[in-house]
Chains A and B, each alone.
Chain A
Amino acid sequence: NAGVTQTPKFRILKIGQSMTLQCAQDMNHNYMYWYRQDPGMGLKLIYYSVGAGITDKGEVPNGYNVSRSTTEDFPLRLELAAPSQTSVYFCASSYSPPSGIYNEQFFGPGTRLTVL
């Protein structure tokens, strides 16, 4: 299993450009998450999904959009890039059965994004 994969690893954007960060998992996990990590800060949740077709906002959703058309993929879209979105972005996934028992999250390698 590849686990959680993310592309690209690095990207530089100009202000106002848009891009999509890709995330895929091959573990058949129902939950998927997008976090951002700013220097000296912990990870903060941007968006999450509990299954295909279902997404919801996290702590810091402004400026981002997501979709979840398949179990495997959870892309994150930046429509109008701003310098405040310079960060490292991590995708994660986990499996939670109907009983609601929570399991650990598995993280991807991250995408380092710079907006100039």
Chain B
Amino acid sequence: AQSVSQHNHHVILSEAASLELGCNYSYGGTVNLFWYVQYPGQHLQLLLKYFSGDPLVKGIKGFEAEFIKSKFSFNLRKPSVQWSDTAEYFCAVNARTGANNLFFGTGTRLTVIP
């Protein structure tokens, strides 16, 4: 079975600090990788996705993520966070088979202090 691990449960940063959120998955086959964001009181929105090609993908709002196949990792980064980035971030994996459903990590809550 697939699983997704997010190492940080709660991260607190000051504005303009750099962000890196870890995500590791366990699955031996080909995967699609996603980062979703859930702002307070809102539903999940896609930040970025990786299907194939360049392992460094750029998403919305200045976020990017790097897929490192050898490490089974897909870490999310942002050079300079803003107060409006306060949200919960979920890493998700899809194994390109069957239901095409997503396996989610437990999420990382990011709090950005003005």
A residues at B contact (CB < 8 Å)? 31, 33, 35, 40-45, 48, 50, 56, 58, 90, 94, 96, 100, 102, 104-105, 107-110
> Is the pair A50, B99 in contact by a Cβ cutoff of 8 Å?
yes
The total number of A-B Cβ pairs within 8 Å is: 54
Q: Interface residues of B, CB < 8 Å — how many?
A: 25
B42 within 8 A of A: yes
- Encode B72-108 as 1/0 by CB contact (under 8 A) with A: 0000000000000000001010101001111111110
A50 to B100, CA, bound (A): 9
Q: Taking each of B9, B90, B102, B105, which has the highest tally of chain A beta carbons within 10 Å of its own beta carbon?
A: B102
Chain B residues lying within 8 Å of A110, measured Cβ to Cβ, are 43
Answer whether A107 and B96 are a contact pair too, CB < 8 Å, given A42-B104, A42-B105.
no
> Is the pair B102, A43 in contact by a Cβ cutoff of 8 Å?
yes
Chain B residues lying within 8 Å of A33, measured Cβ to Cβ, are 99, 101
In-complex Cβ contact of B106 among A40, A90, A109 (8 A): A40
Chain A residues lying within 8 Å of B101, measured Cβ to Cβ, are 33, 45, 48, 58
